[in-house]
């Protein structure tokens, strides 16, 4: 009954949206009402109360460059009231300073004309710079440092990008984990081709860098985009050491001969848009960022209260001991399973101490490591039935929070050991009835006994030799064929290893197919932004491999120079330009249309790749 009510209600909402919808209205808003020259912003023209509204005509204003991005629709149900809206988004790029009135906008809906009032945009004469001593300016956070090497003329503002090297504490013990955090800050600046940080860490061993995280941080009223790198260090030798300075190499993206374009490259500061650097007038400048160094002291192990079984484990650990088999026979194995978990460097954790008596035979423990725990399995074999218990298991470590040692003990664990039955330890000889049975020790059979063959096998004539058969000589060709195949495969691998262009040429189709499959999956999930991003990277990498040009140099001019001499169809060149143009719009637009346009881009990308595979370059 409840399902019928829900279905009826949903049907009623669908067939009578006008009756439940709010009063229609038409509005225009700006993302920011005051910007500087060259800093793009978005213009939103929204109609509330319906969705069948055509987009208004793109305004043409001297001093502003306005480009239509796309529509986005929305429907919500609140307290039984259905609200529908459609928003048309425009990208506005200020080219000159001054005050601009954008609009008004008009549209028709259900026979009525609706008006959206004009919005006012104030464009300053110069782009803002965060580096200033005034209260509204920004400077790097305390302890931040930067040094940048760049070509002459690179438009680099020192306070716009910088890195910091941070540690959780300045004093650690040997073997203690020291987390390192390296933050890369960026404000209003495009960055690409970011390499992992490098820094000196004498006195420490280093783990692997974790996957960097994107974040943001507000400092003195300025919002910085951040890329955060994490790594763990472990002290190996006592003394005072200097970590860093940390260095990061990257490329700073700037518009050629004009101010930087913050809305596209400034918002997505950690991008990799190699194609658009040359295709749309942007250039990348190599920059090396450098942080301030940090001093850290590695302390030795305290002598006071040091247990005799301490082997160098530092952290906060827990130990669990299990002895599953507590009823065994003489000679049967007893497995002592010890699991150590906690916070600390598990690589420095050694096997716990088991005080084994002479009643057991022991073997080296087997060790394994799974995620954040270390597992030891110690095998003990009782020699006699007098073995009554497995002695206690103990493990000692240093707690770096208070600098004190702690010992964890578990056990002892009682066991019951019985003798092996006589049938397994001796051989019984059956004599005549009434005579006492005699038991002899079981004798191990040696290799001097040869069993009698029950089947003689296949018999051949005396003068029949294998080399006289034609099959034998035919088989001699197989090693020669295998040798030739091995030589061809090895030569091909060697060429791929030494000839990077050849390797990229061969790998391009396979990687393109993989990228298209990924893009198709995104399209089925309706993840349109990821779809266009995958299409762009797939076609860019494919053209880079096929045309033998660096990935960052795949531009419109390079594509035409490489393909025209090969007699490439002009329609294919237009199709390539259209694909990249749509990808650019989709990747930086606030909303993206799905459906047929995305499927058309996928079909065209497949056509371009299939065509490129057929022509000779």
For 390-437, what is each residue's pLDDT tens digit? 888 899 999 998 889 999 998 888 888 888 776 555 555 444 455 454
List the beta bridge partners of residue 186. Answer: 161, 225
Give the C-alpha separation, 204 to 200, whole Å: 9
Give the model's pLDDT for residue 231: 93
Residue 29 lies in a domain: yes
Residues 75 and 173 grouped into a single domain: no
In the 8-state DSSP scheme, what is residue 401?
A: T
When pLDDT is averaged across residues 265-294 and rounded to a whole number, the result is 63
- pLDDT score of 273 more than 50: no
Beta-strand pair 426-429/438-441: antiparallel
Beta-strand pair 171-173/294-299: parallel
Residue 43 lies in a domain: yes
Residues 288 and 199 grouped into a single domain: yes
* pLDDT band per the 50, 70, 90 thresholds, residue 474: confident
In the 8-state DSSP scheme, what is residue 380?
A: E
End position of a domain, from candidates 366, 391, 418 = 418
- pLDDT score of 18 more than 80: no
Please tell me which residue, 579 or 75, carries the higher pLDDT value.
579
Residue 88 preceded by cis peptide, ω within 30: no
Give the C-alpha separation, 299 to 310, whole Å: 16
* pLDDT band per the 50, 70, 90 thresholds, residue 246: very high
Residues 27 and 103 grouped into a single domain: yes
Structure tokens belonging to residue 17: 């949206």
Residues 366 and 276 grouped into a single domain: no
| Total domains, the chain | 4
CATH number, domain with residue 359 = 2.60.40.10
Residues 605 and 533 grouped into a single domain: yes
For 166-207, what is each residue's pLDDT tens digit? 998 899 999 899 999 999 988 877 888 899 999 998 889 888
Residues 189 and 274 grouped into a single domain: yes
Residues 170 and 279 grouped into a single domain: yes
List the beta bridge partners of residue 317. Answer: 342
End position of a domain, from candidates 418, 446, 468 = 418
Nearest to 247 by CA among 139, 145, 155: 145
- pLDDT score of 247 more than 90: yes
List the beta bridge partners of residue 41. Answer: 92
Residues 178 and 288 grouped into a single domain: yes
CATH number, domain with residue 594 = 1.20.120
Residue 574 lies in a domain: yes
The count of residues in the chain is 617
* Contact in structure between 82 and 48 (CB atoms under 8 Å): no
For residue 413, give the H/E element and its range.
strand 413-414
Q: Residue written as tokens 């507000």?
A: 218
Count of alpha carbons within 13 Å of 4, Cβ hemisphere only? Answer: 1
CATH number, domain with residue 261 = 2.60.40
- pLDDT score of 263 more than 50: no
In the 8-state DSSP scheme, what is residue 327?
A: E
Give the C-alpha separation, 522 to 1, whole Å: 38
- Residue span of the structural domain in which 274 resides: 161-299
The rounded Cα 594 to chain-centroid distance in angstroms is 27
- Over its C-alpha atoms, the chain yields an Rg (Å, rounded) of 38
Residues 193 and 64 grouped into a single domain: no
For residue 112, give the H/E element and its range.
strand 112-116
* pLDDT band per the 50, 70, 90 thresholds, residue 340: very high
Give the C-alpha separation, 35 to 42, whole Å: 11
Give the C-alpha separation, 135 to 317, whole Å: 49
Residues 262 and 375 grouped into a single domain: no
Other Cβ atoms less than 10 A from the Cβ of 9: the count is: 12
Residue 378 lies in a domain: yes
Q: Which of 51-55, 135-139, 155-159, 291-295 has the lowest mean pLDDT?
A: 135-139
Residue 323 lies in a domain: yes
User: Torsion angle, CA of 608/612/615/616, rounded to 10 degrees?
Assistant: 160
Residue 518 lies in a domain: yes
Residues 292 and 204 grouped into a single domain: yes
Please tell me which residue, 559 or 373, carries the higher pLDDT value.
373
Residue 430 lies in a domain: no
End position of a domain, from candidates 383, 418, 453 = 418
Residues 375 and 413 grouped into a single domain: yes
Give the C-alpha separation, 259 to 123, whole Å: 14
Give the model's pLDDT for residue 14: 47
Beta-strand pair 327-329/416-418: parallel
Going along 269-372, which residue ranges are E strands? Answer: 282-290, 294-299, 315-322, 327-329, 334-344, 353-354, 360-362, 366-370
* Contact in structure between 181 and 320 (CB atoms under 8 Å): no
Give the C-alpha separation, 397 to 376, whole Å: 16
User: What's the start-to-end Cα distance of the chain, in Å?
Assistant: 68
Residue 322 lies in a domain: yes
550: left (phi over 0), alpha (psi -120 to 50) or beta: beta
Q: Is 43 exposed, middle or buried (0-12, 13-18, 19+ CB in 10 A)?
A: buried
* Contact in structure between 411 and 184 (CB atoms under 8 Å): no
């Amino acid at each position: 009954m409840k399902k019928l009510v829900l279905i009826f209600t949903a049907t009623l909402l669908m067939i009578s949206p006008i009756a439940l919808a709010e009063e229609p209205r038409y509005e225009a808003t700006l993302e920011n009402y005051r910007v500087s020259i060259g800093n793009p912003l978005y213009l939103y023209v929204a109609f509330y109360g319906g969705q069948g509204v055509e987009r208004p005509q793109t305004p043409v204003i001297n001093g502003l460059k306005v480009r239509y991005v796309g529509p986005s629709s929305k429907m919500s149900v609140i307290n039984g009231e259905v609200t529908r809206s459609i928003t048309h988004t425009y990208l506005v790029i200020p080219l000159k300073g001054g005050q601009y009135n954008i609009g008004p906008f008009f549209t028709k809906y259900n026979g009525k004309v609706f008006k959206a009032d004009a919005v006012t945009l104030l464009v300053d004469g110069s782009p803002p710079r965060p580096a200033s001593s005034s209260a509204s300016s920004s400077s790097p956070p305390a302890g931040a440092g930067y040094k940048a090497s760049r070509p002459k003329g690179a438009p680099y503002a020192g306070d716009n990008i910088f890195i910091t090297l941070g540690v959780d504490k300045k004093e650690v013990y040997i073997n203690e984990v020291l987390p390192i955090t390296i933050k890369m800050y960026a404000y209003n600046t495009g960055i690409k081709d970011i390499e992992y940080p490098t820094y000196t860490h004498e006195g420490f061993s280093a783990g692997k860098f974790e996957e960097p995280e994107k974040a943001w941080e507000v400092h003195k009223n300025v919002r910085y985009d951040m890329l955060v790198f994490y790594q763990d260090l472990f002290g190996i030798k006592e003394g005072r050491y200097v970590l860093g300075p940390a260095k990061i190499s990257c490329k700073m993206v700037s518009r050629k001969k004009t101010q930087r374009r913050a809305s596209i490259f400034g918002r997505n500061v950690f991008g990799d848009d190699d194609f658009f650097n040359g295709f749309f007038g942007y250039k990348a400048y190599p920059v090396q960022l450098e942080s301030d160094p940090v001093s850290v002291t590695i302390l030795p192990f305290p002598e006071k209260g040091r247990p005799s079984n301490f082997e160098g484990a530092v952290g906060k650990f827990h130990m669990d001991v299990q002895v599953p088999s507590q009823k065994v026979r003489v000679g049967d194995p007893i497995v002592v399973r010890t699991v150590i978990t906690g916070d600390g460097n598990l690589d420095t954790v050694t096997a716990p101490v088991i005080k084994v008596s002479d009643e057991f035979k022991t073997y080296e423990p087997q060790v394994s490591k799974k995620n954040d725990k270390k597992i030891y399995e110690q095998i003990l074999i009782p020699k006699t039935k007098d073995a009554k218990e497995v002695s206690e298991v103990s493990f000692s470590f240093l707690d770096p929070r208070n600098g004190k040692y702690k010992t964890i003990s578990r056990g002892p664990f009682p066991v019951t050991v019985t003798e092996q039955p006589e049938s397994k330890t001796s051989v019984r000889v059956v004599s005549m009835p009434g005579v006492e049975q005699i038991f002899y020790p079981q004798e191990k059979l040696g290799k001097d006994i040869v069993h009698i063959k029950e089947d003689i096998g296949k018999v051949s004539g005396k003068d029949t030799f294998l080399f006289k058969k034609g099959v034998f000589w035919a088989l001699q060709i197989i090693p020669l064929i295998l040798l030739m195949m091995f030589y061809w495969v090895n030569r091909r691998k060697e060429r791929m290893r030494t000839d990077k262009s050849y390797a990229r040429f061969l790998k391009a189709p396979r990687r393109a197919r993989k990228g298209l499959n990924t893009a198709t999956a995104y399209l089925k999930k309706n993840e349109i932004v990821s779809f266009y991003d995958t299409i762009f990277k797939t076609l860019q990498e494919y053209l880079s491999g096929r045309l033998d040009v660096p990935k960052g140099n795949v531009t419109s001019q390079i594509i035409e120079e490489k393909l025209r001499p090969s007699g490439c169809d002009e329609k294919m060149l237009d199709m390539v330009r259209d694909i990249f143009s749509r990808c650019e719009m989709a990747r930086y637009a606030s909303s993206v249309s799905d459906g047929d346009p995305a499927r058309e881009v996928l079909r065209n990308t497949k056509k371009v790749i299939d065509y490129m595979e057929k022509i000779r370059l």
